[in-house]
Amino acid sequence: MSRFVSGNRVELLRAGTEYFPALEAACDAAQHEIYLETYIFEDDATGQRIGAALARAARRGVIVYVMIDGFGSKDLGDDFVLALREAGIRVLVYRPQISPWTLRRERLRRLHRKVVVVDARIAFVGGINIIDDMHTPRQVPPRFDYAVRIEGPLLAPIHASVVNLWTLVMWTQFRRRGPLNKIPVQHAPSGSRRGAFVVRDNLRHRNDIERAYLEAIGNASVEVVIANAYFFPGKSFRRALASAAARGVRVVLLLQGRVEYVLLHYASRALYRFFLDAGVEIYEYHRSFLHAKVAVIDDRWSTVGSSNIDPMSLLLAREANVLIDDAAFARELKTSLNDAMALGAERVDAATWKHQSLTARIMTWVCYGLVRFMTGWSSYGRAREFR
């Protein structure tokens, strides 16, 4: 069960156009400490902008901790990292060993969460990396994604999570040096929204995000709307959605329409027939690249975070989502998703889907088989869920 706490201010941020100015402003107002965790930190205009804000904070005495993933940020140049360190920023690389020549399964366990905590008072959680929204080639509108800005009692578990992860990675890299200072968490009530912070790790919280989804879907009585960039759910998740549709719940999936990663794109399409036959509505987003990992259920329960519904996120990567139990927030997020579907998505027609070309069907099932094989090879104990 997810532990919800009341009294939070939770603000929805749409794409980098809203997220990066809010993040930069928070960094410029910081007085004590900043923790930033991200999968991708790119040396582009956006990365330089956020890097400069972090450097300004460090130079005025704020202790700044930046953790990047060894694979996601593998293209971040040494000069950029050196400049951050010379400004006084402490930089850690999560699992820096990414050699393609090793067959160790652990190399696929990545830091995929995107979390920032400023002065133990403000937190940002979502799916947005530190990268230009227009980075992807052939993209005109910005990448479609979300984050939330949080104040209130939820800061306690979020702050504890970033401190614990920093300490853990320091120890695993034999540095044996945790955070330099401990400041009190500002967790006084700041709003009226109930929320919970859920993570996925490889210890006590291996299934928390998936369980939160399954519980909410299982309790749904009116509507389930899920927007997810890489959608390749396991058996339990597929059955939960089909069961919801069978009992009269409207189930809507907003998925990636453009091809970004060929393997996952076509593998996820192997599941379309199952969902369409179950009465699930599928919309493919084509206007730009969809990177969102959000959901709204029964106009009340919402989630925003970094976790895709695929084997990498649900079995391997470190992820972080926020659950929000608030009708007004759900309405705002759902309106944004409805606008995206109306302006930039196409509904997949069940009848047309059944008459795909032989080439398309072969491509789909070859990719599906490869993803199943990779899931079984790289995970422990639960790979059968994704078959």
Catalytically active residues, by annotation: 112, 114, 119, 291, 293, 298
Q: Which amino acid is at 10?
A: V
How far, in whole angstroms, is CA 22 from its chain's centroid? Answer: 18
> How far out from the chain centre does Cα 365 lie?
27
Scored b (16 or more CB within 10 A) or e, 18-48 reads bbbebbbebbeebeebbbbbbbbbbbeebbe
Token readout for 312 is 């990498």
User: Would you put residue 382 in left (φ > 0), alpha (ψ -120 to 50) or beta?
Assistant: alpha
Cβ pair 145, 15 in contact under 8 A: yes
Q: Which of 236, 270, 243, 287 is nearest to 353 (CA)?
A: 270
Hey, CA dihedral for 46, 69, 269, 301, is it positive or negative? negative
In 11-128, where does DSSP find H-type helix? 15-29, 45-59, 78-86
What is the number of other CB atoms lying within 10 angstroms of the CB of residue 100? 6
Number of neighbours of residue 233 by Cβ within 10 angstroms: 25
Q: Which residues have CB under 8 Å from 156's CB, separation 6+?
A: 185, 187
- Beta carbons within 10 angstroms of residue 109's beta carbon: 20
Cα–Cα distance between 23 and 175 in angstroms, integer?
29
| Inter-CA distances, 190 with 22, 29, 151, 305, Å | 17, 18, 6, 21
Nearest to 255 by CA among 296, 285, 286, 220: 285
73 neighbors 129 (Cβ within 8 angstroms): no
